[in-house]
A and B are shown apart, each in its own frame.
Chain A
């Protein structure tokens, strides 16, 4: 009875009769297994070759832009890119530089794009195409099983220089005047030194069209001496420090002007017995600039005027295609200004992708949280540096300068 059950397979059935058939089965399956093996190995090879080709394209685009920037010559761009492509290897062999194009990169966060540009004065980007194709294609390792003996790889990269629009916002309140202003270690002397170093760094890495400006403050913001007394803008209340041009308006300016303005911070040539740059004994404390009595910007700390000036300058004179940033330097809490107004200015900066870098001197236990708050309100890449002594100002300014973008590769 049980032998007729479907659970009992007759031992003379088809399964037992086919024992020992590994060889023919393996003979058939080996092609499948080899096929999958070949696929795995060669897909890995293709991925690696593509990555190497892209890396070579990145290096070629970078070289083209750096080569072009020296003398703004398209021939230099091609030569520089070709040289790097010849040196870098893609799957053990040199790739081919197919094309180098010069153009403009639109720093528009929504639709970033490269647009070829024939006017070399407007070029801020280079695009390189690199490949291994045709006779120079990459050979497969096992793909011959499928008849695939080689494959093409290519890479395209854009390198762009982004113009920078930078405003320095500097605290010249009375605490910055501690000690003898002519001393190398007085806060204001260190501030001059730091500002000079910062500009030197920007100057040494010129991106065509860079903009630079300085706003300073104590109780009010200082005004541009070139337009002294003239209101700036159409909706400014008369005499408003906010609406007047800052100490150095944002612009494509050169070293002589910048140097003049930096040197003008506490220029002791204008000192008089009751107006001295620094606070020594009973002498009147002054902040900022001494060239004209009306330049008296007071003694306490009210950063919101200058911060607003800086934000206005960047919004008015630098389009979003610029990398826009504010270096905000202060040594303490605003003791006569509105923190809310300063925060509002920083908030507007952040809304417009303007970065705020904080540099805080906290010698007397001043709380750096205020500056950190401004930095946090700005665009994401800002950071705050804190030191106990103004002697650290040059180092902190340089650290910010080093972070400014030069060439990026897309």
Chain B
């Protein structure tokens, strides 16, 4: 009797194997496996989804800045310095476009280049915008700044 009683509370290996074929016990034995596997795969999944979001945003910012910088540089390069400064014209043009792509902390510099390798006939206007960016999720490696540079041939001789 005692032996039987012991057997009921401490089943042998065979008994446990037999018991696992019973649905209720098998369910109890696997409880938690889902959570563990989910926890293991979630970081990979999140990295992918949030990475797509972050890098999509980064490319959108980069494309917008490239466009604004190139158009501003072009406006400045077309300007006859005898009538208005190409730098001022480029700055004004960029200021009208900046709010969308270049928020606080954004810097825009315009430099007429006409010495050294840029001496006639290669006078050019260099426009460069830099802004800080941060990851939306903070979950993936991300650059801290976005930079866009454009060179445009100056249409008019510089003083």
Query: A residues within 8 Å of B by Cβ?
Result: 11-12, 16-17, 19-20, 22-23, 26, 30, 33-34, 36-37, 40-41, 44-45, 47-48, 51-52, 55, 58-59, 62-63, 66-67, 70, 76, 79-80, 83-84, 87-89, 141, 201, 204-205, 398, 402, 406-407, 409
Contacts and interface: CB of A to CB of B under 8 A. Distances in A.
A58 B74 contact: yes
Size band of the B side of the interface? 35 or more
Given A398-B83, A407-B78, A41 B52 contact: yes
A20 B30 contact: yes
A87 B151 contact: yes
Contact of B155 (A47, A66, A87, A201): A66
A204 B67 CA distance: 29
B93 interface: no
A47 B63 contact: yes
A26 B45 CA distance: 9
A201 B66 contact: no
Interface string B28-54: 001001100110110011001101100
Contact of B67 (A30, A33, A51, A407): A51
B124 interface: yes
Interface string B69-81: 0100110011010
Given A33-B48, A406-B155, A59 B37 contact: no
Given A19-B34, A48-B66, A83-B122, 17 more contacts: A16-B27, A17-B26, A26-B41, A30-B44, A33-B48, A36-B52, A37-B52, A40-B52, A40-B55, A48-B62, A55-B150, A59-B70, A84-B124, A88-B149, A141-B55, A205-B80, A402-B83
A402 B60 CA distance: 33
A332 B57 CA distance: 56
B139 interface: no
Contact of B56 (A41, A87, A201): A41
A177 to B, nearest CB: 30
Interface of B: 23, 26-27, 30, 33-34, 37-38, 40-41, 44-45, 48-49, 51-52, 55-56, 59-60, 62-63, 66-67, 70, 73-74, 77-78, 80, 82-84, 121-122, 124, 126, 149-155
A63 B153 contact: yes
A188 B34 CA distance: 91
B82 A407 contact: no
A58 B73 CA distance: 12
17 contacts: A11-B23, A16-B27, A19-B34, A30-B41, A34-B48, A36-B52, A45-B59, A52-B66, A55-B70, A59-B70, A66-B154, A79-B122, A84-B152, A88-B149, A204-B82, A406-B78, A406-B155
A409 B75 CA distance: 11
Contact of B153 (A20, A44, A55, A62): A62
A204 B80 contact: yes
Contacts of A33: 45, 48-49
A22 B63 CA distance: 39
Contacts of A398: 83
Contact of A80 (B26, B83, B153): B153
Contact of B51 (A37, A79, A204): A37
Interface of chain A: mostly helix, strand, loop or mixed: helix
B77 A62 contact: yes
Q: Which 4 A-B pairs have the closest CB atoms?
A: A22-B37, A63-B153, A20-B33, A44-B59
A147 B75 CA distance: 42
A52 B68 CA distance: 12
A212 to B, nearest CB: 18
Contacts of B154: 66
Nearest to A54: B70
Nearest to B122: A83
Contact of A84 (B45, B49, B151): B151
Contacts of A19: 27, 30, 33-34
A83 B119 CA distance: 12
Contacts of B49: 33, 37
A268 to B, nearest CB: 30
A66 B124 CA distance: 11
A16 B150 CA distance: 61
Contact of A20 (B34, B66, B67): B34
B77 to A, nearest CB: 7
B67 A55 contact: yes
Given A22-B41, A59-B152, A62-B74, A67 B66 contact: no
Contacts of B150: 55, 59, 88
Contacts of A62: 74, 77, 152-153
A41 B51 CA distance: 9
A20 B37 CA distance: 7
Nearest to A37: B48
B59 to A, nearest CB: 4
Contact of A41 (B55, B78, B122): B55
Contacts of B33: 19-20, 22
Nearest to B40: A23
Nearest to B57: A44
Contacts of B60: 44
